[in-house]
Amino acid sequence: MMLGFYPPLQKQRLFYERQTNNIDQLFVESTAGGGNYAFTVCRSLEEKSRDNEITLWSLVNLDTTNANSQSVLTFKPPMKLVHSVSLSCGDEPEYLCLGGKDHQMRDAIIVYRFQDMVKFQKVEILARQLLDFDTCTVKFNPLLATSIVACGKENVKLFKIKNGHLPGQSVMLNNTARGKYFRHIAFQNSGMSGDQQQAAQGKSTYVFVATEDGLLYFINYHTRQVDKIIQIHEEGIAAMVLARTSEFIVSVSQNGTIRLWTTDFENLKSEVKTGTQISCCDVNYDGTQICVMSQQGGTISVLDLATSSYNVVLRTHLDHVTDMAHNLMTGKLVTLSEDYCVKVWQAETMEQINEFVSERDLPVRVVCQNQGFLGEGITSEHTDTLVAIGFKSGFLRVIDLENMAVVHETLLFQSPVMDIEFSLDNKFMAVFFKSGKIVIINKERPDHFQPVKNIDYELPNQNYCSLSFSMDSSMLANISSNANTITVWETRNFSLRYHLDVTGDIISKIAFAPNGRDLVLLTISSKLKFYRLGQSARDEELLHVKDSYDITDMECVDFQITTNNRFIICAGKEGVIKVYDYFMRGGPIASTQAFLGHFKHPTRLCVQKDLRNVYSCGEFNGIYKWTFYGDATKPEDLSQFCEELAGEKEARARLTEDDIEKQQVDEGMFGQQELQNYTQKQIDKHNN
């Protein structure tokens, strides 16, 4: 997992380094001097270790380029679970308090000297106290740096740090606490200045404690008595925060209602109903904005009190992202997830534009219509704004990204869609089903999608299904029986052109190279196999060019060839994205550039046709957007951007002028008039 922050004014997401494990808990604490610290709790990476690791992050300068200035230290408290973190008040907090359960599953609170940790990297327990109730929250009293309030099941208890001990006193709740869980704590005077706090000492000061069923307890700190109980929400309370300006207190219910109260809870100043469940909230430093997070909706929103606006600033999928596709013409990125959602993003800003939900049918494959450079001599008659989405049931939907409308939907076979491919002339769309059936759909008419050919073969390997159209759209290749054979079909009449047997290898993906001459195969043993297409219609076999071994340290799960044919980008299960030169130069093992960032390995790659960005996704990873700095220029003759075989060199040296003309006829490179001239030339030559 990665720790990041989102400055709303900058409209970009920034990430901290040095966080390589699952983040179980995140706590953010502010100081009176304007300092901000984050605490991430995660499991230790050491084998047989039962401890948690807590990493302390400095959020003062928000400089993500200097990792050392961000991560202050990492330490292991003797606790199995950490529920709450709190810093004492003051410009430079003196104490850090942790609440949770120890390795014997006993509730406990532990206190450290925070300044020793920050300045001297010294981690030493100052005080420790076991509790006799399930603890939910611990918090320092802002009026007294040595006072701690803890709450939980049927109990609220006040502690004081004294001579390395934590003596405590329970609040007299009587029978009002029976069956109650106290989860949130706020202090009436926590936003006062130092002089105001000194003046307030000795007066009646309330500690506000809220239960999970919407009740608020007014606890007098000096008498340890409950003075009043009121109902502030009808639903469970998700958060309760006092603004740092001490102008109001925010309470948020789990059903999405935000209420602003005066600091004594006598009057309700404002109420906002968001319509979505809220998990937590916070108030910014000057008290002008309230940030709320919805775990169920996967959103982070900001309520601006000055403009009375409520804006969603960050959205995400709620489960693993499984596939994605980018459309260059509309500048949109389409993603699929196991949360049954199809989301459309503005690729430049990664802001969500639209969302489609399929509650009972899981979307599994998405492919955009040709969103970039077309093959030599091919022009697109229709706009390239379509995206095809395949579902687990076998359902197929085609959506126009420009109008955000479904233009076609059909159910051809009751089998999961494994792959979809558009021909570069926008004439055909091929759909590969898990059952081993391939359906070719003619889509020349924008409003009509007509299946014209079914391809079925025996012994399909249901785990590996891949399709690819050639650059001139004259051929369609697919993985065939047992995933160790390749069949290549001519699209003019769908007759079999090539049959390739690579017994001994299991093929996971195939792709025609943009040069129009090579077919590239990826095997589960992380090997790329290059084959050369025949130069004429009479060539019946694919010529083996070379094999590139160990392109990733572990199994390679996806690869993409850039549209200018200069690079091959691979993703491996070791969590690394590698970029190779297309010719695989550099020795027995080709030279490569490797890029880290994924916590778990990426499962899918997507390359923009203009080569500005590369996208990757995978389990527990979200969506990664990489800036691509490789050579984006297109070779002068893309068809010659390939390795020349020894036989091709010899054959080219022996060609006469008549042989070259004849080869051009065989390859269909002559137009109608040129073909007539060539025919007349052959007749005259025969008569003479």
More reliable by pLDDT, 9 or 121: 121
Query: Looking at residue 376, what is its pLDDT?
Result: 44
683: pLDDT strictly greater than 90: no
207 falls within a domain: yes
561: pLDDT strictly greater than 70: yes
Query: Looking at residue 87, what is its pLDDT?
Result: 92
Q: In which domain, by residue range, is 191 found? A: 4-238
Same domain flag for 301 and 420? no
Burial class (CB in 10 A: 0-12, 13-18, 19+), 283: buried
Same domain flag for 598 and 452? yes
Domain end call among 315, 330, 365: 315
Amino acid residing at 536: S
645 falls within a domain: no
How many distinct helices (H) and strands (E) make up the chain? 6, 53
- For the ranges 72-81, 371-380, 521-530, 554-563, which has the lowest average pLDDT? 371-380
Query: Looking at residue 425, what is its pLDDT?
Result: 83
Cα separation of 176 and 656, whole Å?
102
Average pLDDT (528-549) is 86
pLDDT in tens, 110-153: 999 999 998 889 999 999 999 999 999 999 998 888 999 999 99
Same domain flag for 58 and 160? yes
196: pLDDT strictly greater than 60: no
Cα separation of 80 and 78, whole Å?
7
Query: Looking at residue 132, what is its pLDDT?
Result: 92
Percent of the residues in the chain that have a pLDDT greater than 70, as a whole number: 83
506: pLDDT strictly greater than 90: yes
pLDDT in tens, 629-655: 989 898 888 888 888 776 665 555 566
Q: Which residue has the tokens 């590239």?
A: 520
Structural domain count of the chain:
4
CATH number of the domain bearing residue 122: 2.130.10.10
Average pLDDT (81-103) is 91
432: pLDDT strictly greater than 70: yes
pLDDT-derived band at 68, boundaries 50, 70, 90: very low
The encoded tokens of residue 626 equal 């990489």
Rounded (5°) CA angle 526-529-534: 165
Average pLDDT (344-365) is 91
Query: Looking at residue 372, what is its pLDDT?
Result: 46
551 falls within a domain: yes
Query: Looking at residue 371, what is its pLDDT?
Result: 46
DSSP 8-state class, residue 6: -
Percent of the residues in the chain that have a pLDDT greater than 90, as a whole number: 48
Average pLDDT (336-341) is 93
Same domain flag for 301 and 412? no
| 102, 78 Cβ separation under 8 angstroms | yes
648 falls within a domain: no
Domain end call among 284, 315, 346: 315
Same domain flag for 151 and 259? no
Q: Kind of pairing, strands 4-5 and 14-15?
A: antiparallel
pLDDT in tens, 565-596: 999 999 999 989 999 999 998 877 888 999 88
Query: Looking at residue 397, what is its pLDDT?
Result: 94
650 falls within a domain: no
Same domain flag for 588 and 613? yes
Same domain flag for 303 and 177? no
Query: Looking at residue 190, what is its pLDDT?
Result: 56
Greatest mean pLDDT range, 47-61, 88-102, 587-601: 88-102
Same domain flag for 137 and 234? yes
Average pLDDT (215-229) is 92
pLDDT-derived band at 597, boundaries 50, 70, 90: confident
Query: Looking at residue 375, what is its pLDDT?
Result: 45
Query: Looking at residue 144, what is its pLDDT?
Result: 85
Same domain flag for 468 and 353? yes
Query: Looking at residue 463, what is its pLDDT?
Result: 87
53 falls within a domain: yes
Amino acid residing at 428: F
Average pLDDT (601-611) is 90
Query: Looking at residue 48, what is its pLDDT?
Result: 57
Query: Looking at residue 682, what is its pLDDT?
Result: 67
Beta strands in 412-526 (DSSP E): 417-422, 428-433, 437-442, 450-456, 467-469, 475-479, 485-490, 496-501, 507-512, 518-523
Question: Of 496, 567, 574, which is closest to residue 528 (Cα–Cα)?
Answer: 567
Cα separation of 126 and 95, whole Å?
9
687: pLDDT strictly greater than 50: yes
Contacts of 495 (CB under 8 A, 6+ apart): 489
Query: Looking at residue 621, what is its pLDDT?
Result: 74
Query: Looking at residue 664, what is its pLDDT?
Result: 57
Domain end call among 214, 238, 262: 238
450: pLDDT strictly greater than 70: yes
The encoded tokens of residue 91 equal 């410009």
Same domain flag for 534 and 680? no
Amino acid residing at 434: K
Cα separation of 109 and 100, whole Å?
7
333 falls within a domain: yes
Same domain flag for 519 and 508? yes
Question: Of 623, 603, 597, 619, which is closest to residue 20 (Cα–Cα)?
Answer: 597
Cα separation of 488 and 512, whole Å?
11
Same domain flag for 198 and 103? yes
pLDDT-derived band at 202, boundaries 50, 70, 90: very low
311 falls within a domain: yes
Contacts of 421 (CB under 8 A, 6+ apart): 367, 429, 430, 432, 467, 468, 469, 476
Average pLDDT (562-566) is 92
| 249, 258 Cβ separation under 8 angstroms | no
CATH number of the domain bearing residue 291: 2.40.10.480
Query: Looking at residue 381, what is its pLDDT?
Result: 47
Average pLDDT (280-293) is 88
Other beta carbons within 10 angstroms of residue 342's beta carbon come to 21
466: pLDDT strictly greater than 90: yes
Q: Give the mean pLDDT of the chain.
A: 84
pLDDT in tens, 382-395: 557 889 999 999 99
Structural element, H or E, at residue 258: strand 257-261
More reliable by pLDDT, 297 or 190: 297
pLDDT in tens, 238-272: 999 988 888 899 999 988 899 999 988 999 999 99
18: pLDDT strictly greater than 60: no
